[in-house]
Amino acid sequence: MSGTVTVRNVTLGEGIPKICVPLVSAAASELVAEAKALKELAPDLVEWRSDLFAEVEDLAAVQKTLAEISSVLPGIPLIFTFRSAREGGGREISEEYYIRLNQAAAESGHVDIIDVELFNKENVVRGLIAAAHACGVFVIVSNHDFNGTPSVEEIVSRLRQAQALGGDLPKIAVMPQHAGDVLTLLAATNTMREQYADRPIITMSMAGEGVISRLAGEIFGSALTFGAAHKPSAPGQVAVAELRRVLELLHRSL
Ligand SMILES: O=C1C[C@@](O)(C(=O)O)C[C@@H](O)[C@@H]1O
């Protein structure tokens, strides 16, 4: 893999893929309890899926909850994600609020990475990347296809677009319809790594058939994998302890 990104003490793009655990509760009090509980799993990073937060449309509540979550996770890099319903997330918000929300997260001082969906207007993606970078915050530029798996060329093209826009961590999640689709995602990941990527990328094929892609990132070129604590945020996420065992097994055999 070409290039690394170091977030606090975690270096993405070298060695064993890093494990990220999502926070998925709807209520602020539950989120704090969830954050406390997942510390035991020793994840490398934590993602707050803010689209699943009941009060996400109240910016003050988001800021307060962000401060609370980060205070119980000292030292662990935090990803702020609003996943739109059209990409498999919890809800839709206006473009204007999407920008405000992500900007506020980046400016909060509690977040290390924000996730910006590639399929926004180009000026929105570029603007959020610039705003995040001005605060020393990294950006995942992501795309999710919950209905199918595009061709190798199309997956590579989306990852390259995310890189060209200035995303620090291009990411794509696709849904397999059959085992061949998992091979497509792995082939695209390997092609991107070998031919185009100058930074770490994150890829996964979702659901049961795609699980191998969440385990084999060190071989094919995905730097980060999402593991479930008590509840997965996407189909196919494996429990963190099992995930770590397999990642370590594969790492030792290389
Ligand atoms: O984009 C991703 C990847 C993901 O969809 C997965 O398949 O593990 C899980 C989401 O929480 C995260 O934002």
Rounded to the nearest 5 degrees, what angle is found at the Cα of 140, between the Cα atoms of 189 and 112? 135
The answer to whether residue 50 sits within a structural domain is yes
Residues tagged in the binding site annotation for 3-dehydroquinate: 47-49, 83, 214, 233, 237
User: What confidence score (pLDDT) does residue 31 get?
Assistant: 97
Contact status, residue 175 vs residue 149, Cβ threshold 8 Å: yes
CA distances from 185 to 59, 67, 135, 137, 178 (A): 36, 36, 33, 28, 12
Q: Which of 110, 133, 171, 230 is catalytic?
A: 171
Ligand 1 pocket, 20 CB below 6 A? no
Ligand 1 pocket, 49 CB below 6 A? yes
The answer to whether residue 10 sits within a structural domain is no
Tokens representing residue 30 in the block: 């539950």
- Give the confidence band of 230 by pLDDT, cuts at 50, 70, 90: confident
Q: Say how far apart CA 108 and CA 115 lie, in whole Å.
A: 15
Ligand 1 pocket, 174 CB below 6 A? no
Instruction: Write the CB contacts of 31 (distance below 8 Å, at least 6 apart in sequence).
Output: 23, 25, 48, 53, 65, 68, 69
The yes-or-no answer on residue 231 being catalytic is no
Q: Say how far apart CA 139 and CA 184 lie, in whole Å.
A: 25
Percentage of the chain beyond pLDDT 70 is 99
- What's the CATH number where 152 sits? 3.20.20.70
Domain count, the chain: 1
Tokens representing residue 17 in the block: 């893929």
The yes-or-no verdict on residue 1 having pLDDT over 90 is no
Q: Say how far apart CA 179 and CA 108 lie, in whole Å.
A: 42
Q: Say how far apart CA 126 and CA 145 lie, in whole Å.
A: 22
Q: Which of 36, 39, 110, 144 is catalytic?
A: 144
Burial of residue 68 (number of CB atoms within 10 Å: 0-12, 13-18, 19+): middle
Q: What is the residue type of 110?
A: H
The answer to whether residue 7 sits within a structural domain is no
- 210 CA → ligand 1 middle, Å: 13
The yes-or-no verdict on residue 124 having pLDDT over 90 is yes
User: What confidence score (pLDDT) does residue 125 get?
Assistant: 98
The yes-or-no verdict on residue 2 having pLDDT over 90 is no
User: What confidence score (pLDDT) does residue 57 get?
Assistant: 98
> 72: domain range?
16-253
Average pLDDT along the chain:
97
Report pLDDT digits (tens) over 54-94. Answer: 999 999 999 999 999 999 999 999 999 999 999 999 999 99
* Range 140-164 average pLDDT: 98
The yes-or-no answer on residue 18 being catalytic is no
The answer to whether residue 61 sits within a structural domain is yes
